Amino acid sequence: MKKVLFLLLSMILSFSVFAQTDSLKALYVNDFADIIDIPKSENKLLEYAQSHGFNYLIIYNITKIHRNRFPINNKMTDDPFANFIRKAKTEYGIIRISVVGEQATSFDPVLQYNLNHIDNEDELVDGFNIEFEFWNSRLTKPEGYYCKTYLEKRGYPCGRAAALYFYMEQLRILRTVASEFNIKLESYVGNVTKEEMQKLIQYLNTIHVHYYRKDTKNIAKYKSNRLEAIIDGNSKVEVFPIFSARDKHMKPWLQEHDIDEVMPVFLEMLESNKSLNPVIKNIKGHTWYRYSDMPE
């Protein structure tokens, strides 16, 4: 009973803030290569999304699916992908579907897919979400995945500066494509500096900013310099805070709380903080990471 009352109170307190957002609720879908074209798995995902109020899916494994399952850029072979998107949008209330890639060329098959289905809006991918953690030293150091896969092959030194340069190159390429074909350019943002944030928001339509905490205590104040960059630049970029249900983040907390308790607390904290309050107009919803870790 106390839990229900808390939820109702949180919703009432944050109603005025939510009214300023489009209230999109996004879910990162990992291991999608093991879900697509398997009706039972697809329906389980979509039923979970629908029953928990998710109306925005961010999908991993697109390159893996294209290479190992079926070509996405060929209308003779892309039926499983088209069918899933159409089903999600027409039967399960999904408003937006984005796909994740690490570099600009990752999205080439999806762009061709969209062109092949341009006459059916219910089958289109809505966003390209580039995920490249240039701030992650484990990935950018010598022998790190980004260093070996992307930087060294281009003659770049390993490290954060070169990784940021590569990331910005990808954004510039994708910005042109996204603008021309009415696709939202998105990115996941983690431990970035205010100066780095100021650079990347010049290119992005949407940013998913991580708030990977173990509970809601001071959650909106976490690495607030990222939001300050948006406020200072009067950016119109869409902002989605990401909350994580993984073991090292909120999974233990979620054993006693509901996922829908987090966003009202987050917004209430922003509303009460004069220096961060202006960013509320940029917030269009929130995101959960990730499907396989979400509580039932």
d(CA 238, CA 294): 24
In contact, 190 and 179? CB cutoff 8 Å: no
Sorted by where each begins, the domain ranges of the chain are: 1-30+183-296
Q: Are strands 56-59 and 96-101 parallel, antiparallel or unpaired?
A: parallel
For position 23, what pLDDT does the model report? 86
In contact, 111 and 181? CB cutoff 8 Å: yes
* DSSP per position, 94-155: --EEEEEESSGGGGHHHHHHHHHTTT-GGG---EEEE---TT-HHHHSTTSHHIIIIIGGGT
d(CA 120, CA 122): 5
Residues 6+ away with beta carbon under 8 Å from 123: 82, 85, 86, 117
CA distances from 208 to 29, 62, 119, 260, 282 (A): 14, 19, 29, 18, 12
In contact, 210 and 242? CB cutoff 8 Å: yes
The helix/strand/coil state of 170 is: helix
pLDDT tens by residue, the chain, 296 residues: 545 444 444 444 444 444 444 589 999 999 999 999 999 999 999 999 999 999 999 999 999 999 999 999 999 999 999 999 999 999 999 999 999 999 999 999 999 999 999 999 999 999 999 999 999 999 999 999 999 999 999 999 999 999 999 999 999 999 999 999 999 999 999 999 999 999 999 999 999 999 999 999 999 999 999 999 999 988 999 999 999 999 999 999 999 999 999 999 999 999 999 999 999 999 999 999 999 999 98
Q: What DSSP state is assigned to residue 166? A: H
For position 22, what pLDDT does the model report? 52
CA distances from 50 to 29, 42, 106 (A): 14, 12, 29
Name the pTM for this structure.
0.93
